Amino acid sequence: MADKSRPSTLTVYLYVPNIIGYVRILMNCFAFAICFKDKYLFSVLYFVSFVCDALDGWCARKLNQVSTFGAVLDMVTDRISTACLLVILSQVYRPGMIFLSLLALDIASHWLQMYSSFLVGKTSHKDVKDSSSWLFKLYYGNRKFMGYCCVSCEVLYIVLFLLAKNQTENLTEVLVNAATQSWFYLILLSLSVIGWVIKQIVNVIQMKTAADACILYDIGKKR
């Protein structure tokens, strides 16, 4: 006899936070389809999708609908969305390799973190209590700090996309011109760059920590 207290596969797929995740995917698909036709609509849709990332997490906790599938869906959606925007920026700005390097760091660090977390039996990739890095623990332990860093990254990328007028823009020139011509851009870019730098440092720490965890797991198996 089936356990009625256990949700079915379909039930998990239809959890409210997971439905929000599907909506985010559709929203991003439409946003990227029109990104060069309507930059402002793209920016609004992209940012709304990003904000929904926090909304689905809140719903998962509030409705007791936390699931491994939801966590993976969330991360995959985030990573692919950011990756697509970074690819676009790499085609608009020179040197484009900067954005492709950021894309590689973002995907590698998060994939390694997710894989190593499940490898050692953790239920969440955000469980970093055993880390020796105070910044890494602060990032995943303080939602406001993590939110600031994540919002900073996305806002910086969106602003860079909006500022680009041609497909061969010099990144340094665009940033300097925007900061010197407007106090609004100066403040916005300054706050965004600070959070962006912290996020990249955390990504490097995350990748190294996760790689160490994978190696230690192998060493432990050989003993």
Predicted confidence at residue 185, as pLDDT, reads: 95
Q: Fill in the amino acid letter for 7.
A: P
Least confident of 34-38, 111-115, 123-127: 123-127
Q: Could you say which of 53, 56, 78, 106 is catalytic?
A: 78
Q: Is 212 a catalytic residue?
A: no
pTM of the model as a whole: 0.91
Q: Which residue has the tokens 């491994």?
A: 68
Res 62 pLDDT > 90:
yes
Predicted confidence at residue 6, as pLDDT, reads: 82
pLDDT confidence band for 4 (50 / 70 / 90): low
The mean of the pLDDT values for the chain is 93
CA distance 145 to 148: 5
In degrees, to the nearest 5, what angle opens at C-alpha 191 toward C-alphas 45 and 33?
A: 20
Q: Which 3 state secondary structure label does DSSP give 198?
A: helix
Mean pLDDT of the region 85-104: 95
